Amino acid sequence: MPPVTETVLEVNLHNLQHNFTFMKDFTKPNTKFLAVVKANAYGQGAVEIAKFLETLQVDYFAVAYVSEGIQLREAGITTPILVLHPQSHNYYKLIEYKLEPSLYSNFMVNSFIKIAKELQLKEYPVHIKFNTGLNRLGFSLEEIDALASSILSQHHVKVASIFSHLAASEDINEKEFTQNQIHAFKTISEAFSKQLGYTPIRHLCNTSGIINYPEAHFDMVRCGIGLYGYGNNKSVDAQLKPVSSFKTIISQFHHLKTGESVGYNRGFIADKETVTATLPFGHADGIGRQYGKGKGFVTIQGKKALILGNVCMDMVMVDVTNINCNIGDEVLVFGESVSAETFAATANTISYELITGIAARVKRLYLY
């Protein structure tokens, strides 16, 4: 591919297809596959990503909020979309755009049924979330009887799926905790299905669950970060392909004498003659101040260039003293050779935070 001429996020859809196939191969042929495209498809661009995944025949999409689902519907996506945190004031819009809500409390269930009744809906698909240990959202085992009674007392909604969320499926030290979650989900889903008189789709596993707990795949799996190239497991990460590469160019050089400083608050003071390169991205683009002062680095001509001083809103300065480079040369922040996980670790954070935080003003280039 030709060198970039500005700050861009290159999104490689061939790599996305590779990751989809790789993750799906962990499951049995009849196991449904839900692709998580919330947070702008983890920063990659929800519409383009969903359109491409739809051609690969995923069974479901999941988004966090109703507005994200509306964006996909207006772009022509017809695959079922689960809204994980719908919020009751959005129910009318949710129904208008044929989105499917996650209901996780009596308030959510009762308020949705009320609107479904008002609109004279029949067996509108809803998804019931149970809490098995993450303690974030969801019904408890003790609430099953009352919940089932609410569902069975009307015909306006029907349970399409029962699900929960693993809290530590990537952590081998928490295997016992995860196995307890799996057991709890089995108990809950069996009891609730018995009350309903039918068995909805059951799903529990996220990316790490798909990889580490095949016994918990149930009827469907939910894959987010794995699709975008990260599996929370070194051996798996080696086989996945990062979908996005954050690239930019060199704007200008400065030759510092000993004692001269760089950037705001004189965040770097040269202790020897130093050559710096200024790059056109900053914390307004999603690369925060935590990467400054020598923690983060970029790659220029295959060599590491440390970020000097404080990251500015629109610019960073890097040390190129020992790198033979020119104005306009391509700079890699993260991508296939230096992963987002590696770059994020320099600031003691994770790939999720880094890739979902890349600002909308950064141009996305889709490579087929």
How do 363-367 and 8-12 pair as beta strands? parallel
Tokens 């009751």 -> residue: 88
Distances (CA, A) of 32 to 129, 180, 198, 202, 218: 18, 23, 18, 10, 9
Query: Is residue 38 annotated as a catalytic residue, yes or no?
Result: yes
Residue 1 has pLDDT above 80, yes or no: no
**How far apart (Å, rounded) are the C-alpha atoms in residues 73 and 76?**
5
Q: What is the pLDDT of residue 235?
A: 87
Q: What is the mean pLDDT of residues 162-167?
A: 98
Residue 236 has pLDDT above 80, yes or no: yes
The structure tokens listed for 176 are 């016992």
Q: What is the mean pLDDT of residues 118-133?
A: 98
**How far apart (Å, rounded) are the C-alpha atoms in residues 134 and 142?**
17
H-only helix segments in the chain: 13-24, 38-42, 46-55, 66-74, 91-96, 106-118, 144-152, 175-196, 207-212, 234-237, 340-345, 351-356
User: So where are the chain's domains?
Assistant: 31-228, 244-367
Q: Assign a CATH topology to domain 31-228.
A: TIM Barrel (3.20.20)
At 316, the pLDDT band (50, 70, 90 cuts) reads very high
**Are 158 and 123 in contact, with CB atoms under 8 Å apart?**
yes
Query: 3-class SS at 351?
Result: helix
pLDDT digits (tens, 9 = 90+) for 250-283: 999 999 999 999 999 999 999 999 999 999 999 9
At 19, the pLDDT band (50, 70, 90 cuts) reads very high
Query: Is residue 230 annotated as a catalytic residue, yes or no?
Result: no
% of the chain residues with pLDDT over 70: 100
Residue 3 has pLDDT above 90, yes or no: no
The C-alpha angle 248, 254, 257, rounded to 5 degrees, equals 145
At 36, the pLDDT band (50, 70, 90 cuts) reads very high
Question: In terms of pTM, does the model score above 0.85?
Answer: yes
- The one catalytic residue in 92, 122, 175, 264 is 264
**Comparing 31-228 with 244-367, is the CATH topology the same?**
no
Q: What is the mean pLDDT of residues 220-236?
A: 93
**How far apart (Å, rounded) are the C-alpha atoms in residues 226 and 35?**
10
Q: What is the pLDDT of residue 58?
A: 98
* Radius of gyration of the chain measured on its C-alpha atoms: 24
Q: What is the pLDDT of residue 196?
A: 97
Q: The CATH number of 244-367 is which of 3.30.70.2500, 3.40.50.11270, 2.40.37.10, 3.30.160.20?
A: 2.40.37.10
